[in-house]
Copies of this chain bind each other. A is one copy, B any other.
Amino acid sequence: MSNPPTIKEIAKKLNISVSTVSRALHDHPSIGLRTKMRVQQLAKDLNYEPNQTAIFFQQRKTFTLGVILPELSEAFFSAAISGIEDTANKHKYSVLLGQSHDNEEREKQIVETMKNHRVDGLIISIAKNTVNYDHFEMLKKYNIPIVFFDRIPNLPNIHYVACDMESGTIQAVNFLLKNNHRIIGMINGPEKLFASQQRVEGYIKAMKKYRLKFDPNLMVASDLTREGTEAAMQSLLSQRRKPTAIVVFNDYVALDAVQYARHKKLRINKDLVFVSYSNLPLSHYTAFPPLASVEQFPYQQGQKATETLVELLGKSNDQQEATTYYKVILESQLVLNPNR
């Protein structure tokens, strides 16, 4: 027989009704032990497996989590998806995947696809230049909860998991200050990102604590492309008060910044030192690694986001409404480079 066995076939072969079979397979108390055994035996013999698509349809639940990330090939996100998949799996959920390529249009379209697939919930790290959040709001009407992580939108009532970049930045700047740097530059990311704003806060707070005044010229933004980073470096290095240290948005940007500096004949870790974020494994192997990097625990963020979502899904809609929004903050942590 080519088609997988169904509950109907079992019923027919045993001359009982489908409902009995269904209940027998679920160990329902109202089914006698005898028939229960017979059904379960035959099911095993026929290699019966319930048709999930039928169940999904009937139960209006798919046990599937949608995950939307900017770039799967970036180490940060691939670590995150790893944590997400592991945790989802542990809770019997499957993972439906989409990458936005940092493109808002594409992000919208994926959200649409996920909605039509009737995913039970979504985990999203938004595209870097998404400014319109309608496609997220829309999901509320469909009762599809979202947990954002790392790259979170600037919206009031959302669930999210993120690293506290403010404290991480304070750690980073303090580290530099303690090493006698006084003119500290910063290459930040897109202003829209909450994480960028937090970095600014942390930077300013740390400087203030040392009674150093904030020089806005030392704070530049990169769009995270190589060109953007080079422009940022150029701007920083053309200052009258040249920075002796630079805090950089992430390790990828740092690699580009380092290359630019070397090209300008600056001696890394002598004329100019770098501290960055992410602490990718590669930075341990790299020729001129940043002195230190703020670890953001992508795997753990993914884990936590998934656990949060699963917990949310365990609640009824009313309960969901009643929950105050989850705002899970993981502490980031400055990690000194062992090869420094």
Contacts of A113 in B (CB 8 A): 94
The answer to whether A78 and B86 touch across the interface, beta carbons within 8 angstroms, is no
How many whole Å from A117's CB to the nearest CB in chain B?
5
User: Does A115 reach chain B (CB closer than 8 Å)?
Assistant: yes
When the two chains form their complex, are residues A81 and B86 in contact, meaning their CB atoms are under 8 A apart?
no
Q: Does A51 contact B (CB under 8 A)?
A: yes
Tell me the nearest residue of chain B to A52, going by C-beta: B116
In the bound complex, CA of A71 to CA of B281 (Å): 15
The residue on B at minimum CB distance from A66 is B94
A81 touches B72 (CB 8 A): yes
- Segment at the interface with B among A36-44, A53-61, A209-217, A304-312: A53-61
The stretch of A96-104, A126-134, A160-168, A221-229 in contact with B is A96-104
Residue A32 CB within 8 A of the other chain: no
Q: How many copies does the complex hold?
A: 2
Does A155 count as interface, using CB distance less than 8 angstroms? no
Binary per-residue interface labels of chain A (146-168) against chain B in the complex, 1 for a CB within 8 Å, 0 otherwise: 00000000000000000000000
Q: Which of A13-21, A192-200, A282-290 lines the interface with chain B?
A: A282-290
How many angstroms from the CA of A18 to the CA of B99 in the assembled complex? 36
Contact with B along A90-132 (1 / 0, CB 8 A): 0000111111000000000010010111100000000000000
Point out the residue from B52, B78, B85, B95 that lies within 8 Å of A78, measured CB to CB.
B78
**Chain B residue nearest to A60 in the complex (CB):** B53
CB atoms of A72 and B57 under 8 A apart: no
CA distance A287 to B115 in the complex (A): 46
Task: Write the chain B residue with the least CB distance to A54.
Answer: B57
CA A57 to CA B57, docked complex, whole Å = 7
Indicate whether A323 reaches chain B with its CB closer than 8 angstroms: no
**Complex contact B94–A94 (CB within 8 A):** no
Shortest Cβ distance from A72 into B: residue: B82
With both beta carbons as reference points, the residue of chain B lying nearest to A114 in the complex is identified as: B94
- A311 vs chain B, min Cβ distance (A): 21
Measured CB to CB, the residues of A under 8 A from B are 2, 4, 49-54, 56-57, 60, 62, 64, 67, 71-75, 77-79, 81-82, 85-86, 89, 94-99, 110, 113, 115-118, 141-143, 255, 282, 285-287, 299, 339
- Nearest 8 CB-CB pairs, A to B? A78-B78, A282-B282, A287-B287, A57-B57, A72-B82, A53-B57, A285-B286, A52-B116
